[in-house]
Amino acid sequence: MAEATPYDIDALRVHPKATLDACRERVACRMCGKSVKFFCYHCCVLVPELEGKVPRIRLPFKLSVVKHAGELDGKSTALHAKVIAPEDVEIVAYSADCLDDADVQRTALLFPGPDAKQVDDMDVTSMDRVVVIDGTWPQAKRMVRDNRKLQRMQKVTIAPRRTRFWRYQRLGDSYLATIEAIYFLYRDSAGGGYCGEYDALMYFYKYFYDYIQGEYAAAPARPFHSRHREGYIAYDSAVPATSPRPARRDTAAKANYEFDDLALEDVFEDRGHP
């Protein structure tokens, strides 16, 4: 397997900070009534204050995100794609017979393996849809193993990159957050002519990445997960938060990105869990 290479997250042509920083209050989702900050994690719709201010794009082929039941909505970065490209992205609850109506001849599965083709080597006009699995790596392997349609789809893969995800995971930094994988799927499909047209998929991810970098840059003594890769917080280049949140060691981390509720030290700090 080729070595994973870093990517420059600051080169993305998205600038979410001013827009999202100005959105301060939680409001009720207009569809389900749940209290949300930027968008509803259940309905994938923006709060009214952000309508017309957050980019919306079209994609060259459809995307089906097959979501494991154990993957919490608030933890799923894949939902960002549905918010940014609602006409071309669907969220599918996994079951043994989901995707029964999929044409396996024109549907590809983003999944590594010896039989996977590089997406930049494929004729994307031959694909109507790509399926992406949203779950942990063990969950994803079981889902593909147990679903006959997923088994029969042509597998595609992307060039390996190092993740910028802020949550520690044991598999190494070549395992991307789902929205990173989705972004590079579309970016690589454009070949050498890519001009930033899918950068908007990373709109919320970039904001959350910069948010955490800024919080830790403003408080260099704040502890984080001891097994997170060295140098993850770019203390020399991150823009420190002007009013960093105080550490709250008595608050359990919540598995979402609603930062008004999140205890930041729990994102990184090693609590001795296996």
Q: What is the pLDDT of residues 120-174, one digit of tens each?
A: 888 888 999 999 999 888 899 999 999 999 999 999 999 999 999 887 667 778 8
Percent of the chain with pLDDT over 70: 86
**Statement: residue 201 has pLDDT above 60:** yes
Q: What is the pLDDT of residues 22-57, one digit of tens each?
A: 998 899 999 999 999 999 999 999 999 999 999 999
pTM of structure: 0.89
Q: What are the tokens at 148?
A: 């006959």
Segment among 63-67, 123-127, 244-248, 267-271 with least mean pLDDT? 267-271
Handedness of CA 90, 131, 102, 190 (dihedral sign): positive
The least confident of 61-65, 95-99, 127-131 is 95-99
Helix pair 203-218, 178-189: axis angle to 10 deg: 130
Q: How buried is 31 (Cβ within 10 angstroms: 0-12 exposed, 13-18 middle, 19+ buried)? A: exposed
Residue 251 pLDDT class (50, 70, 90 cuts): very low
80 close to 203: Cβ distance less than 8 angstroms: yes
Q: What is the pLDDT of residue 88?
A: 98
Encoded tokens for 4: 């994973």
Structure tokens at 39: 């968008």
**Of 77-86, 158-167, 215-224, which one has max mean pLDDT?**
77-86
In angstroms, the CA 203 to CA 132 distance is: 19
Assess whether pLDDT exceeds 70 at residue 273: no
Which region among 28-37, 45-54, 99-108, 254-263 has the lowest average model confidence (pLDDT)? 254-263
183 in Cβ contact with 194 (< 8 Å): no
